[in-house]
Chain A
Amino acid sequence: EVQLVESGGGLVQPGGSLRLSCGVSGFTFSNFWMSWVRQAPGKGLEWVANINEDGSERYYVDSVKGRFSISRDNAKNSVDLQIDSLRAEDTAVYYCAREFRGYNWGQGTLVTVSS
């Protein structure tokens, strides 16, 4: 069974940083692109970033370029999202997803940016 479990969310002040992590099981991690998607309270889904199988390709939505960084460790079956210079508008549930015939999703981790 494909499983994805996010961690690392929490309350952070504006300008602060967080590192989100997603651990996976049930599939050969190194064979798949991985994505992060976020959802602000009461809003729709927003794709944030993805990374290819070996980490050599990374893409970001314009609104997070220069502040967010996606990475992966194929030995540990994990994908991370480093979030810097946090803003109030980054408040959201952050989901990790496997890209394969659509997305398989984790349950999400909540990031709240507030003073």
Chain B
Amino acid sequence: EIVLTQSPGTLSLSPGERATLSCRASQSIASAYLAWYQQKPGQAPRLLIYGASSRASGIPDRFRGSGFGTDFTLTISRLEPEDFAVYYCQQYGYSPRTFGQGTKVEIK
């Protein structure tokens, strides 16, 4: 099983600041199979990034995914009020599929 470790657990930032979220895999993942999701309270997760760096339909360009191998990053260039949420990475290329434990981006 591929273990995904996200850091930090919580990120306290102000609107307009840059957020950098990390996802580290216990073994190398083909980049084509790494995704990022945003989840707000009471809502289903929303796909942001697939294939490590491709934005899903309708996702603003302030969201950027990067990385390869075992280290992946989600960057939000300038936080908008609606971006404060929990973010999960996931690998979907190997069974069992696995998720990271999440990073909460909160308002400072």
Task: Assess whether B95 is in contact with A102, with CB atoms less than 8 Å apart.
Answer: no
Does A27 touch B at the CB level, under 8 Å?
no
Count of inter-chain pairs, beta carbons less than 8 A: 57
Task: Assess whether B47 is in contact with A102, with CB atoms less than 8 Å apart.
Answer: yes
A46 in complex: contacting residue of B46, B49, B56, B99, CB < 8 Å: B99
Task: Assess whether A59 is in contact with B102, with CB atoms less than 8 Å apart.
Answer: no
Contacts of B50 in A (CB 8 A): 101-102
27 A–B pairs (Cβ distance < 8 Å), ordered by A? A35-B97, A37-B99, A44-B99, A44-B101, A44-B102, A45-B37, A45-B39, A45-B88, A45-B99, A46-B99, A47-B96, A47-B97, A47-B98, A47-B99, A50-B95, A59-B95, A62-B96, A99-B92, A102-B35, A102-B37, A102-B49, A102-B50, A102-B56, A103-B35, A103-B92, A105-B45, A106-B44
Listed in ascending order, the chain B residues whose CB lies under 8 Å from chain A are 35, 37, 39, 44-47, 49-51, 54, 56, 88, 90, 92, 95-102
Listed in ascending order, the chain A residues whose CB lies under 8 Å from chain B are 35, 37, 44-47, 50, 59-62, 95, 99, 101-108
